[in-house]
Amino acid sequence: MAEKELGGCHENSGLIDKNKILEANEALKSEQDEVSQSRNSQYQQDLKSVLLTSVLNLEKLDVDLYRGTHHWVPRTQRLFGGQIVGQALVAAAKSVSDSLYAHSLHCYFVRAGDPKVPVLYQVDRTRDGRSFTVRSVKAIQHGQPILICQASFQTLQPSPLQHQFPMPVVPPPEDLLTVEELIHHYLSKPDLAEEAKKGLKKLLANEVPIEIKPVNPAHFYRLGPEQPRRLFWGRARGHIGEGNMKLHCCVAAYVSDFALLGTVLLPYPEYRAKFAASLDHSMWFHSTFRSDEWMLYECESPWAGSSRGLVQGRMWRRDGMLAASCSQEGVLRVKPVTEPSKL
């Protein structure tokens, strides 16, 4: 979402050297040390994550019927897909026993969510099995579904079959800048294009409940033609604690839709999104994790065509364990960029 709102910033110098980006990050990091320190001390005050206290804190209206409210609404003025998926998973999880773990979900976004009214979540107890339990959730506004979701839960079971891809090697989050720190840096550039400046200021005003550190800011802000792949460290703002694993999965579902679809645009800096919306979203949860601790989010788009783009994501614990995978297809209609940015 964030990169889309920037208004398709690019420069014509071609690919950017990764080492130069890391060097630039290093310089920026010391520049912004004071800001970071105050942020860290704020974090250490143990502020409860707003995801926990507000976004994912659904109100029970009746048996298997819940109401969710909004925290952050994107500039598109349609509800953030991650919020609807996260809330749907919360609703589903409320109807299964504590001994079950969420292992997957599959959703279609069938209508744009209206930020002016709350969302109702209606849960259907599709099946309770011995190992697996399935729930169907309909998210409803104005009497019509905006999302349909199937979520599956499993008892913990041992397995001799265990493998995963290795985690990509990237700088640790401590060596990188947050999105806000990067934006302050870009805003300090005197020759910044007006359109980009406006986009950046709007981004700063966002109260996104996720903290993000792009591994390569050039990828995050589409500063040149790139392979459709990008990585960032992300975590829920504020403290969640050990809590229960289902809740961390709900938070990860919220985070997973952030900046996923924009990966499709990376090879095309000459275009900006005119209309972009996720069509579907699937997730698989693999191991335990803390969503309020840094996780590496790897996003790649293996295909685009017919005004659609496919994106696959992997969330890694910083110790190298694969925590979750996700997949999404989105509709993307583009228009040529008229004013190149000078970020």
Ligand X SMILES: CC(C)(COP(=O)(O)OP(=O)(O)OC[C@H]1O[C@@H](n2cnc3c(N)ncnc32)[C@H](O)[C@@H]1OP(=O)(O)O)[C@@H](O)C(=O)NCCC(=O)NCCSC(=O)CC(=O)O
Residues that bind ligand X (CB under 6 A): 1, 78, 80-81, 109-113, 257, 261, 275-279, 331, 333
Residue 126 CB-density burial (10 A; 0-12 exposed, 13-18 middle, 19+ buried): middle
Residues 119/262/331/5 CA torsion (nearest 10 deg): 60
Q: How far is the CB of 276 from ligand X (least distance, A)?
A: 5
**Of 72 and 101, which has the nearer Cβ to ligand X?**
72
CB of 46 to ligand X, least distance (A): 30
Q: Cβ closer to ligand X: 185 or 222?
A: 222
Catalytic residue among 32, 291, 328, 341: 328
**Nearer of residues 100 and 261 to ligand X, judged by Cβ:** 261
Q: Shortest Cβ distance from residue 113 to ligand X (Å)?
A: 6
* DSSP per-residue codes, 70-132: -S---TTSS--HHHHHHHHHHHHHTTS-TTEEEEEEEEEE-SPPPTTS-EEEEEEEEEE-SSE
**Is-catalytic flag, 282?**
no
Write down the least CB distance from residue 253 to ligand X, Å. 12
Q: Is 328 a catalytic residue?
A: yes
Query: What is the smallest separation between the CB atom of 301 and ligand X, expressed in angstroms?
Result: 12
153 vs 221, beta carbon nearer ligand X: 221
Annotated catalytic residue, options 257, 301, 325, 341 = 257
CB-based contact 91:84 (threshold 8 Å): no
Task: Let me know if 41 is exposed, middle or buried by CB neighbors in 10 A (0-12, 13-18, 19+).
Answer: exposed
Write the DSSP assignment of 155-202 as a string of letters: E----S----PPPPP---GGGS--HHHHHHHHHT-TT--HHHHHHHHH
Cα atoms in the Cβ-side hemisphere of radius 13 Å centred on 52: 21
Largest Cα–Cα distance in the chain?
63
Catalytic residue among 32, 87, 256, 278: 278
Please report, for the chain, how many H helices and E strands are present, in that order.
Answer: 9, 12
Q: Which of 286, 322, 254, 282 is nearest to 90 (CA)?
A: 254
Task: Give the separation between CA 172 and CA 175, rounded to whole angstroms.
Answer: 6
For residues 114 and 128, which CB has a smaller minimum distance to ligand X in the complex? 114
Minimum distance of ligand X from residue 284's CB (angstroms): 19
Q: Which is nearer to ligand X, 110 or 321 (CB)?
A: 110
To the query of whether residue 38 is one of the catalytic residues in this protein, the response is no
- CA gap 87, 53 in Å, rounded: 12
| Catalytic positions | 257, 278, 328
